[in-house]
Amino acid sequence: MTPLAPGARVRVRDDWPETRGPVHIRTPHYVRGREGVVVRHLGDFPNPEDLAFAREAAILPLYHVRFAPRRIWPSGVSADGLLVELFGPWLEAQR
């Protein structure tokens, strides 16, 4: 997988593994299926989705991704930006 550069436009996978069985997910519901921009690569860390079940965990890139809160919620929003740490496999590069 090609590393994502700062400024890259990404879409968070609209995937809901919790509907398929026991999981430990660090991707908040509110960003699934949403578009954001990579701010920076934070480092590489073992996949918490495996660590939580004592499975062998792949080392994954972790990114800080910025979202526009007003594009996530329809009303009552006073945040101008939202920064979320997300693992590479959750992100699809957008053109």
Partner 1 sequence: MSALLERDPRRLFAAVLNLLEAKGLLSEADLAERIALTDAATPGQGARMVARAWVDPTYRALMLADGTRAAEALGIPMRGAPPLGVLENGPGLHHLVVCTLCSCYPRAVLGYPPFWFKSAAYRARAVRDPRGLIAEWGTVLPAGTEIVVVDSTADYRWMVLPLRPAGSEGLDEAALTGLVREGDMIGVTVPAFGR
Judged by the rule CB under 8 A, the positions of this chain that interact with partner 1 are 26-28, 30, 42-43, 45, 48, 62, 66, 69, 73, 76-87
Region for 43 from its dihedrals, namely left if φ exceeds 0, alpha if ψ lies in -120 to 50, beta otherwise: left
Closer by beta carbon to partner 1, 76 or else 95: 76
What whole-number distance in Å separates Cα of residue 52 and Cα of residue 75? 35
Closer by beta carbon to partner 1, 22 or else 76: 76
**Least distance from partner 1 to the Cβ atom of residue 95, Å:** 26
Closer by beta carbon to partner 1, 42 or else 58: 42
Cβ contacts of 21 within 8 Å, gap of 6 or more: none
